[in-house]
Amino acid sequence: MSDPVLAFKNAAIFQREQLILKDVSLSIDRGEFVYLIGKTGSGKSSLMKTLYGDIPLTEGEGHIVGFDLKQLKEREIPYLRRKLGVVFQDFKLLNERSVNENLLFVLKATGWNDKAQMTNQIHKVLTKVGMGDQGHRFPHQLSGGEQQRIAIARALLNDPELIIADEPTGNLDPQTSIEVMEVLQEIHQSGRTILMATHDYALLLKYPSKTLKCEGQKIFEVIQKIV
C-alpha cells in the first residue's frame, strides 16, 4: 500500500483566530477521485487553501504530496504548488495573454527553460482537455466551459501528484458542467488523484465517488446517498 497523497490527523483549521474546522482526520490515496461537499461557509475553501499553503496549519498533523503542512516554510510553498494542480471556480486566466502565453507563463514561473519541451508540454495538456488547436486564442474569445478546460490544462502542466479543483463547475451551466466533468473523469481514469469541492449534487449522482462533507466544523465521509 503506497503512502496517501493527502492525510490529516486531528487537525484544526483556522482563518486568523477563528476556528473553521476541528478534529480533521482524513486520507486520500493515489488514484482516488474524492468530492468535498458542504454549504457555503462550512469550511471547504479553508481546507483547500490549507492544502496549497494559503492558510498555515498550526494544530494537528497534515501531509500532502510529501510535504508536512505544519512544518511548511514560506520558501517551500512554490515547490509544494508545483506538485499540485489547482483549478479555481473563476478560471484565473490572464486576459491579456493568449492561451499558449498563459501556459508558457506558468512553465517559466516553475523553472522550465527548454523552448521545445515547453511547446511540446503545452500542446500535450491542451490536447488532453480537447483544446489542442485553441492555443492562439485569448480568454475573452472562449466560452466559460472552454476557459475552464484551459484552467484544467494549466493544472496538468507540471504533472501534479494531486489535482485540487475548487468548485470547478460553479460558474457554468448544467450542460457545460457535465462537459468539464467528463474532462476531469478522463484525467482521473488516466491515473490522476483528484479532490473536487462542489455544491452541484447532480454531478455527484451522475458520477458517484468517495465523498467528504464539511458540516458543523467537522469533516466526515458520507455514503453516496446525498441528502
| DSSP result, 119-170 | HHHHHHHHHHTT-TT-TTS-GGGS-HHHHHHHHHHHHHTT--SEEEEESTTT
**What's the half-sphere exposure (Cβ side, CA atoms, 13 Å) at 95?**
3
Is the pLDDT assigned to residue 225 strictly greater than 80?
Answer: no
**Which pLDDT score, from 0 to 100, does residue 110 have?**
86
d(CA 71, CA 101): 34
Q: For the chain, what are the domain ranges? A: 32-52+73-222
Neighbouring residues of 14: CB distance < 8 A, sequence distance ≥ 6: 20, 55, 58, 59
Residue with cell 498563459: 102
Q: What is the mean pLDDT of residues 207-222?
A: 95
Residue 227 confidence class, pLDDT cut points 50, 70, 90? very low
pTM to 2 decimal places: 0.93
Architecture field, domain 32-52+73-222: 3-Layer(aba) Sandwich (3.40)
Instruction: Kindly state the percentage of the chain with pLDDT values over 70.
Output: 97
CB 9 within 8 A of CB 25: yes
Q: Which of 66, 80, 31 is nearest to 192 (CA)?
A: 31
- Write the pLDDT tens digit of every residue in 152-187: 999 999 999 999 999 999 999 999 999 999 999 999
Q: In the numeric block, which cell numbers belong to residue 92?
A: 484565473
Is the pLDDT assigned to residue 64 strictly greater than 70?
Answer: yes
Average pLDDT taken over every residue of the chain: 93
- Write the pLDDT tens digit of every residue in 106-141: 999 888 999 999 999 999 999 999 999 999 999 999
**Which pLDDT score, from 0 to 100, does residue 168 have?**
93
| Angle, in degrees to the nearest 10, between helices 144-156 and 99-109 | 30
Is the pLDDT assigned to residue 226 strictly greater than 60?
Answer: no
Instruction: Kindly state the percentage of the chain with pLDDT values over 90.
Output: 86
Phi, psi dihedral angles at 62 (to 5 degrees) = -150, 125
